Chain A
Amino acid sequence: AQSVTQLDSHVSVSEGTPVLLRCNYSSSYSPSLFWYVQHPNKGLQLLLKYTSAATLVKGINGFEAEFKKSETSFHLTKPSAHMSDAAEYFCVVSVGAGTALIFGKGTTLSVSS
């Protein structure tokens, strides 16, 4: 069975400091992994995706994530938080063509000035 665990339900940082959102996955197959962001009452936007190419993936808005198979992790990072980064972040796994995505429970990122 496939699953995704986001280790923190809420992360608070100050503007200009680094962001770390943690995600571990479990999959019987070689997974594709995604991070999506959702702003209040809005749809989902793809930040970045890992699809068995480079293990360090760069996404939009300065975010990046590193796929570590030995640790079954796909943590999302950003060197310097911005106020506009405050949102809900979902780590997502996909395991087959035409299959639905499996979402983590989400991490709420708060950014203070």
Chain B
Amino acid sequence: GAVVSQHPSWVICKSGTSVKIECRSLDFQATTMFWYRQFPKQSLMLMATSNEGSKATYEQGVEKDKFLINHASLTLSTLTVTSAHPEDSSFYICSASPLRDRNTEAFFGQGTRLTVV
């Protein structure tokens, strides 16, 4: 199946610093990628939709100035957590689909475990 690579797989940062997470589709192009957040023992919650060449669409309650998304090419989307705080500690996962077809499965990155100390 298609491969989505997410980097880094884990990161520890100090409170107040920024962290960038990359999501790459390795063998297909994706005009749209999705960013999810998962708190311990909870489900995945959609944070934002990353659109190639245009602004991301954020879900209600997600601060766009805090979670900066850039989708500069058809194979790369980045999520930057700015001025991170301990409450931002979470598991972040991206997904992408090769085709704009709801019947095509989404492929997920490995996830990034962010710990803010």
Contact = CB atoms under 8 A, between A and B. Distances in A.
B49 A100 contact: yes
Nearest to B109: A43
B60 interface: no
Contact of B106 (A95, A101, A108): A101
Interface stretch (B63-71, B75-83, B96-104): B96-104
A36 B32 CA distance: 20
Given A43-B108, A43-B111, A46-B105, A101 B95 contact: yes
Given A95-B102, A105-B42, A100 B108 contact: no
Nearest to B48: A100
Interface in A89-111: 90, 94-106, 108
Given A41-B113, A106-B42, A101 B34 contact: yes
A103 B1 CA distance: 21
A49 B102 contact: no
B103 A32 contact: yes
B32 A98 contact: yes
Contact of B101 (A97, A102, A105): A97
Contact of A103 (B44, B49, B97, B105): B44
A80 interface: no
Interface string A29-60: 00010101000011110100101100000000
B15 to A, nearest CB: 23
Contacts of B49: 100
A98 B113 contact: no
Interface of A: 32, 34, 36, 41-44, 46, 49, 51-52, 90, 94-106, 108
28 contacts: A32-B103, A41-B111, A41-B113, A42-B110, A43-B109, A43-B110, A44-B93, A44-B95, A46-B1, A46-B105, A49-B103, A49-B105, A51-B103, A52-B103, A90-B43, A94-B102, A96-B102, A97-B102, A98-B31, A99-B102, A101-B46, A101-B95, A101-B106, A102-B46, A103-B43, A104-B43, A105-B42, A106-B42
Given A43-B93, A44-B93, 7 more contacts: A42-B110, A46-B105, A94-B102, A99-B102, A101-B106, A102-B46, A106-B42
